[in-house]
């Protein structure tokens, strides 16, 4: 099964994570500083109704399979879908000891 899915929002094409990466894939996708940057889709209601901790845990689980594996998370809005969802660019370090 594919790990990424291409979505087209109103202006851009986005490759978003649809299945968590393996440890090997995470290591291949991180930069020299150990930082990974991926896009995920989050329902707008989930952004509004949850705390930053819940959001951080949810995106960590989407990217790594573990809700505590991402640390020092930075969020940027990358786009939106027609289904009331937001495309977030998540940049973070990975705590491999949790995987």
C-alpha closest to that of 79 among 9, 15, 18, 16: 9
- State the chain's mean pLDDT as an integer: 92
- On the CB side of 61, CA atoms within 13 Å amount to 8
| pLDDT, tens digit (0-9, with 9 covering 90-100), for 20-51 | 999 999 999 999 999 999 999 999 999 999 99
Q: What's residue 39's pLDDT?
A: 96
50's CB contacts (< 8 A; 6+ apart) are: 58
Domains of the chain, residue spans: 4-98
Q: What's residue 36's pLDDT?
A: 97
pTM for the predicted model, two decimal places: 0.86
Gap between the Cα atoms of 85 and 56, Å rounded: 16
Gap between the Cα atoms of 40 and 85, Å rounded: 10
């Amino acid at each position: 099964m594919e790990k990424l899915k291409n979505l087209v929002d109103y202006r851009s094409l986005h490759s978003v994570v649809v299945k968590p990466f393996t440890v090997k894939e995470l290591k291949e996708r991180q930069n020299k500083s150990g930082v990974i940057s991926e896009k995920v889709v989050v329902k707008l209601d989930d952004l509004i109704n949850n705390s930053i901790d819940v959001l951080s845990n949810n995106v960590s689980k989407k990217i790594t399979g573990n809700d505590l594996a991402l640390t020092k998370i930075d969020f940027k809005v990358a786009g939106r879908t027609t289904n009331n969802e937001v495309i977030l660019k998540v940049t973070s370090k990975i705590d491999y000891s949790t995987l």
